[in-house]
Amino acid sequence: MCWQCDHPGATRQDYLDVLRGVVMQNGWAVQYVEADPPFAYTAGLSEAGLPELLITGLPPARSTQLLNEMAHYMVHEVEPAPGDTMTFPDDSCAEFVEVTHPDVHMGWAVAFRGGPIRGLQIVWRDERGHSPWCPDFNGGGRRQPILGTRGPVDT
């Protein structure tokens, strides 16, 4: 169940305070949204001058794992650009797409920042390495909406 559902008398500011505590401890927080399809995103990376991250179509544990791995990489290594690809430690691959309207999809990150943010979507590939724009993509019954335009592709 969601935090707001568990705390019916709480305000938006109460939840922002919870997010702030997580960001102070970890450098960012992950917000999971139980929608159809589900998605998750970070809040707090903007404070370090980085784009917030978003992923769609995966269950909570997998979304959180990939967002945390990528956020850690960005904070300690390098910021990917739209079109960049990455192989994660478990050998899964992804491509980065700039989120066209982060304010529409990443509400708590915008509220936490107090203004506009940049967003990068982690677009995951299927088990055979196909991206969603490939005709052979098989999401295993999961939908993965792409919330931006694909950038120049690494070669």
What confidence score (pLDDT) does residue 148 get? 94
What confidence score (pLDDT) does residue 141 get? 85
Is the pLDDT at 153 greater than 70, yes or no?
A: no
Q: Do the beta carbons of residue 73 and residue 65 sit within 8 Å? A: no
CA–chain centroid gap for 147, Å, is 11
For residues 8-21, give the mean pLDDT: 93
CA distances (Å), 125 to each of 88, 114, 144, 149, in order?
11, 33, 10, 16
Q: Tens digit of pLDDT for each residue in 97-127?
A: 999 999 999 999 999 999 999 999 999 998 8
Residues 6+ apart with CB under 8 A from 20: 112
Is the pLDDT at 155 greater than 60, yes or no?
A: no
What confidence score (pLDDT) does residue 91 get? 83
Distance CA 88, CA 108 (A): 26
Domain boundaries, the chain: 3-149
What confidence score (pLDDT) does residue 123 get? 96
What confidence score (pLDDT) does residue 71 get? 97
Is the pLDDT at 150 greater than 60, yes or no?
A: yes
What confidence score (pLDDT) does residue 1 get? 60
